[in-house]
Amino acid sequence: MKKIKSALISVYYKDGLDILIHTLAKQGVVFYSTGGTQAFIENLGYTVIPVEELTSYPSILGGRVKTLHPKVFGGILARRENADDLAQLKQYAIPELDLVVVDLYPFEETVKNQSTLFAGELTSEIIEKIDIGGISLIRAAAKNFSDTVIVSQKNQYGILAQFLEENDGNTTLSFRQEFAKQAFAVSSHYDTLIHRYFSLQQANETFKESYLQGETLRYGENPHQAGFYYGNINDVFDILNGKQLSYNNLVDIDAAVHLISEFSETTFAVLKHTNACGVASKPSVLEAWKAAFAADTISAFGGVLITNASIDIATAEEIDKLFFEVLIAPDFSAEALQILMKKKNRILLKQKLFNFPNKQFKSLLNGVITQDFDKKIESSDELKTVTTIAPTSQQVEDLLFANKIAKHLKSNTIVLARDKQLIAMGCGQTSRVDALQQAIHKATAFGFSLQGAVMASDAFFPFPDCVEIADKAGISAVIHPGGSIKDQDSIDYCNAHQMTMVLTGIRHFKH
C-alpha cells in the first residue's frame, strides 16, 4: 500500500472532479495545478501550488508549454526505492508526485465537428487539440505505476475517490497497475486518432484502428468461441427491451442497418444470417411489413426485422404473431411498445441518426484487409438501356429496388422483384444459374407468379443462360452491371424475346 501525499491535477473535463478533490483534501494531499484546474480547486476552498511556482517558469507559447519540465517529470518518474533517484530529488528540490490526474484535449470531438479538410491541410483548431504535455504526463505516470497513480479519464475520478475512502488514502500495486493499463489504452487510442486524421488524404501506409469502449459478449459465433464487441452500441441505438445483444445479433443488425439505409420511402426488411429474405417498399409501414413477410414466411422465423418508419399499433399487432430476435425502427408508438415488450427477451432497438464509417476491415491470414464501404446507389438516369425495348417507369422502379437488395446479398446472387416487393432471392451460390434457380424455386414455393417480375444480378452474365431461364419463368426486365465480353449474347436473347435489359456499369460483389 502507498499513501498519496501529493497530486498534480490538470484536466479539460471537470465534471465530477470536485468529489475527488474533496476526498484528497480530507486526507491532507498537497495540490499542484495549472490554469483553469487551479482556479477550479481554489474555488472549492483549497490551497494550490501553481506549477509555475514549482518550475520557476511561466506558461509559455500560448499555453503550449506548461508542465514540460524536469521538476514535474522528475517528481513523477522518480523510483521511491532508488537511493540515487531520491538523492537527485533532494538535490534539485523536486517534490515527489504520487498522483497525476490529467486528461487530453478533445481531439476526437473536434475532428467530428470539422466537416471538411481544406486542400488536405489540418486546420489550426485541429492542430491545437493535439495534446503534448498531457500525453507525456500520462505516459510518465503510467510507466512509474509502482509509485504513482495515473488518472487519465473522467470516469475514474469517482473510482479513485471511493478507493481512497475505503483504504485511508492508500492505493495498492494492483490498483495502480490497472489504472496504468487504462492510461496506455487512452494514449494509444489518442495517437491512433491523430494518425488516422493525418492519413485522410493519403494512401495508408500503416493500419491503425482503436476503440476505447468494449464489452464481453456471451460468446462468439458459436458457444465454444469467445466474443467481444469494441464500440458503443448506445451511440447507434436506444435499447428499449430484450436480452444482451450477441455476436450474431450484432452481425445481423449491422447488415440490416446498411440495407435499410438504401431506401427513402417506407420500407420493411427481414434478414436471416445477414441476408434479406423479405423486403418491401409500400405506402404504409403495415403494408410494407405484410409484403416483406410474405416473401418468405419460413425464413422470417427467428430473424432480424428492420424498418425506416415508426411502428404503430396495427403493425405491432401483426409482428407480434411472429417469433423474431430483433426489431429495429426509428420510433415506436407507446401502444406498439406495450404489445412488443410483453416478451422480455425480444430485442427492440430505436435507431438513432449516425454516420456510417467510410472504411471497413477484417482480419485474414496474418494481417488485415481494408476497403471503402460500398455506398454507391444507382439512379434511373445512370441506367443504360441496351435492348430495343426500353423499360417502363414501373419497371425502372422495380429494377432499382431489386438492385439495392442484390447489393446486400452474398455473391453469387439473383433478386426477383415486382411492385417494389422482394419475391425471392438466391444467394451465396457458386453459380449464377444456381442462384436464379434457387430464387425461382422459392418464389414458386411461396405462391408467387413471376409474370412481369424483374431480375437483378450483382455481377454480369457471362452467358445468356440466366436470361433464358428468367424469360421462361415470366420475367420481363433485367438489371446487371454488364462488362462481360459476351454481354451481346444476353442482349440478343432479350431482343428476340421482347425482354428489356439495363446496365448499371457498377458491380456489387459481397463475399
pLDDT exceeds 50 at position 116: no
Q: Coil, helix or strand for 146?
A: coil
Evaluate the omega torsion of the peptide bond into residue 366 and state whether it is cis, within 30 degrees of 0. Answer: no
Which residues have a Cβ under 8 Å from the Cβ of 203 and sit 6 or more positions away?
none
Q: What is the mean pLDDT of residues 375-401?
A: 95
Q: What is the tens place of the pLDDT at every residue in 167-190? A: 989 999 999 999 999 999 988 888
The residues that are catalytic are 143, 273
Of 195, 160, 190, 162, give the one whose Cα is nearest residue 175.
160
Q: What is the pLDDT of residues 148-169, one digit of tens each?
A: 999 999 889 999 999 999 998 9
Asked which of 67-81, 107-121, 145-159, 271-285 is least confident by mean pLDDT, the reply is 107-121
The beta strand positions in 143-290, using DSSP E, are: 149-151, 170-171, 214-216, 228-230, 237-241, 267-272, 275-281
- Is a pLDDT exceeding 80 seen at residue 203? no
- Domain ranges for the chain: 2-198, 235-351, 380-503
Higher pLDDT, 396 or 377: 396
Find all residues with CB under 8 Å of 468, minimum gap 6, and list them: 493
What is the percent of the chain with per-residue pLDDT over 90, rounded to a whole number? 70
- Are residues 409 and 510 in contact, defined by beta-carbon separation less than 8 angstroms? yes
55 Cβ partners below 8 Å, 6+ apart? Answer: 69, 71, 72
Beta strands in 341-474 (DSSP E): 347-351, 359-364, 367-372, 384-385, 414-418, 421-426, 454-457
Q: What is the mean pLDDT of residues 487-496?
A: 96
Q: HEC states along 13-77?
A: CCCCHHHHHHHHHHCCCEEEECHHHHHHHHHCCCCCEEHHHHHCCCCEHHHCECCCCHHHHHHHH
Output the pLDDT for position 345: 93
Which 8-state DSSP code applies to residue 355? P
Cell triple for 54: 514549482
User: 3-state secondary structure string, 96-127?
Assistant: CCCEEEECCCCHHHHHHHCCCCECCECCHHHH
Report CA-CA distances (Å) from 93 to 81, 473, 505: 18, 91, 73
Residue 231: pLDDT above 90?
A: no
SS3 of 509, please?
coil
Q: Please answer whether residues 32 and 123 qualify as being in contact, where contact means their C-beta atoms are separated by less than 8 angstroms.
A: no
| 107 — pLDDT class (breaks 50, 70, 90) | low
Pick the CATH number of 2-198 from 3.40.50.300, 3.40.50.1000, 3.40.50.2300, 3.40.50.1380: 3.40.50.1380
- Kindly report each contact of residues 54-63 with a partner whose C-beta sits within 8 Å and lies 24 or more positions away, as own/partner: 54/95, 59/34, 59/35, 63/35
Are 346 and 320 within 8 A, CB to CB?
Answer: no
CA distance linking residue 441 with residue 439, whole number of Å:
5
| pLDDT given at position 108 | 66
Q: Other C-beta atoms within 10 Å of 154: how many?
A: 17
pLDDT in tens, 255-286: 999 999 999 999 999 999 999 999 999 999 99
Residues in a beta bridge with 509 = none
Q: Find where cell 450484432 sits.
A: 250
What is d(CA 135, CA 123) in angstroms, rounded to the nearest whole number? 21
- Position 47 scores a pLDDT of 93
Query: What topology is assigned to 380-503 in CATH?
Result: Cytidine Deaminase; domain 2 (3.40.140)
| Topology (CATH) of 235-351 | Cytidine Deaminase; domain 2 (3.40.140)
CA 147 to chain centroid, in Å, comes to 38
Tell me the three cell numbers of residue 454: 424483374
Question: Which has the closest alpha carbon to 214: 255, 177, 182?
Answer: 182
What confidence score (pLDDT) does residue 299 get?
Answer: 95
2-198 and 235-351 share one CATH topology? no
